[in-house]
Amino acid sequence: MSAGLVCRDLVKTYGRVTVVRGVGLTLAPGEIRAVIGENGAGKSTLMKMIAGIVPPSAGAITLNGAPLTMASPRDATDAGIAIVHQELQLVPALNLADNVMLVRPPGLTARRGSRAEYQFVQTLFDRVGLKRRPTDKAASLSAAEAQLLEVAKALALNAQFIIFDEPTSALPPAEVDRLLSLIEGLREDDIGILYISHHLTEIMRIADTITVLRDGREVGNLKKSETSLDEMIQRMVDRPVSLYASALKPHSDDVAIRVRDLATASVRDLSFDVHRGEIFGFAGLIGSGMHDAAMALVGAERAITGTVEIEGRTVRLSSPHEAARAGIVLVPEERKEQAIVPDLSVHQNLHVGRHDRFSRFGLVDLRALAAKTRSLIQEFNVRLASPHQAISTLSGGNQQKTIVSRCVQSDPKLLIVGEPTRGVDIGAKDEIHQRIIDLAAAGTTIIVVSSELDEVLALSHRVAVFSERRMVGVLDKAEATPTCVMELATPKSREEAVDVAA
């Protein structure tokens, strides 16, 4: 039998619920196999079985023809299988060498804190391109550096097969490219890679083969060279997906929001008008100031200069609460940290801070509250078992739809949506995009802030480009090509453009 990792007819049940149904896949040394599917398709559970985190209810896993029985993650790592989790497994208080040593590299007998240990760790850092010292604290790492440390830990185990679970979800574009290049290098070292991602462009770049899951079942085993984005999407969701195909509706000529010379300590040169029913995009590189501009518009940072007018009336934005009262509502970019209360139910999260809308004489109308919950869940197609389940138990896409529906119910004059589809699957992404388009068509004025350039360009009537913490230009739909946006967003490109013009 040929060398490699083989899974046959894997099944996982929890009580009466089956989440993986007879899935099989193979992975050869030096192969990158992507595993794709909507949230809830069974990807994470499948990876956990292969990594020894949970035992299969049925089926078999073999390595180079020999059966594997894995009662723990250590059994998997001993067999040469490692996993790089989406949620990083670091101990911030320890230094980097100690974090690597926590995985107990096989055969390494060097004393803790010794020169030999540090040399071993430094060799790993050089291999993955982590420009840090073994004695640096893990707490000092950026998200991109922490991801590289996780890869170094996998290599410390002499892993021949590595599972990457959404490794780029928290990385800026430049670091995504760097990580993908590293993974391509691991393929050259004959390491087999299982790669999970919602970003299909990443998969089209690096994958050799693709396993598609839907509702816990394998519904496709594709060669990248013989498939397309459309085919992958169709197999994942089994329904037509627009992928930004819905045409934007014309917006009103009435100016809903007028911003003039607004500046805070974090961003400056904000001057623009947004019309009623218009979707106005904010684009730029990470750190460009586009997210700071969104926060400035909701009063999260004190304005140094400038004015904001809503429907011709100047408003003072001293806090997000005051902004909401004036009609400006923000869907935060960081869903888990800024937008949900994880331990509360979906019903409770829908109405956080909004009970006054259902109160009379100090009493809350519970029936009206429940009816509104049912209406929002239906309108935004939030998939759940019960409105009373904890919101943390929903998929990322359904959490995001819950947050958007909460913000929309106050009928905002300006809805600012930060990173609307970060960390959600393709099906939920399409639904959220369609809701944004529908809201604009119904007259809501919207600002979309996204680090995904194709998302901004597809959704926006016009695009404001940010660089070096200032707004450097506004492009109409026809002008807003990726090349034009990046020329404005990149400082060097702007300087060259000015030189050429001169």
Q: pLDDT grade, residue 8 (50/70/90)?
A: very high
Q: Indicate whether 204 and 278 sit together in one domain.
A: no
The sign of the CA dihedral 367, 368, 373, 379 is positive
Question: pLDDT band at residue 166, thresholds of 50, 70 and 90?
Answer: confident
DSSP 339: I
Domain count along the chain: 2
Query: Which pair of structure tokens corresponds to residue 418?
Result: 């930060």
pTM value surpassing 0.85: no
Contact 273, 309 (CB under 8 A): no
Three-class DSSP labels, 48-111: HHHCCCCCCCEEEEEECCEEECCCCHHHHHHCCEEEECCCCCCCCCCEHHHHHHCCCCCCCCCC
Sheet with strand 255-263: strands edge to edge: 270-275, 255-263, 305-310, 313-315
Say yes or no to pLDDT of 495 above 50: no
Asked if residue 247 is part of any domain, the answer here is no
- For tokens 């997000």, the residue is 320
Strands in 338-488 per DSSP E: 359-360, 363-364, 414-418, 445-449, 462-467, 470-476
More confident residue, 212 or 238: 212
CA distances in angstroms from 469 to 170, 287, 422, 450, listed in the order given: 21, 7, 22, 15
Report yes or no on 249 lying in a domain.
Answer: no
> Is residue 244 included in any domain, yes or no?
no
- Same domain for 479 and 372: yes
In a shared domain, residues 185 and 266: no
Q: Tell me: the pLDDT tens digits for 337-396?
A: 777 888 899 999 888 866 667 677 778 778 888 898 899 999 888 888 899 999 988 888
pLDDT of residue 245: 47
The reply to whether 157 and 266 lie within a common domain is: no
Same domain, 218 and 264: no
Residues 214, 324: one domain?
A: no
Do residues 198 and 54 share a domain?
yes
Share of the chain above pLDDT 90, in %: 52
User: What was the pLDDT predicted at 70?
Assistant: 84
Q: What is the pLDDT of residues 117-162, one digit of tens each?
A: 999 999 999 999 999 999 999 999 988 899 899 999 999 999 999 9
342 shares its domain with 220: no
Q: pLDDT averaged over the chain?
A: 87
481-486 average pLDDT score: 84
Looking at the structure, tell me whether residues 475 and 352 fall in a common domain.
yes
Q: Are residues 209 and 288 in the same domain?
A: no
Q: Kindly tell me if the per-residue pLDDT of 502 is higher than 60.
A: no
Same domain, 68 and 178: yes
pLDDT tens, 399-410? 888 999 888 888
For residue 201, give the 3-state DSSP assignment. Answer: helix
H or E segment to which residue 116 belongs = helix 115-128
Q: Which domain, by its residues, includes 189? A: 5-237
Single residue among 202, 237, 272 that ends a domain in this structure: 237
- Look at residue 246 in the predicted model and tell me its pLDDT: 57
- The 10s digit of each residue's pLDDT in 265-297 is 999 999 999 999 999 999 987 778 999 999 999
Asked whether residue 281 falls in the same domain as residue 188, the answer is no
Domain contains 83: yes
| Residue 18: CATH number of its domain | 3.40.50.300
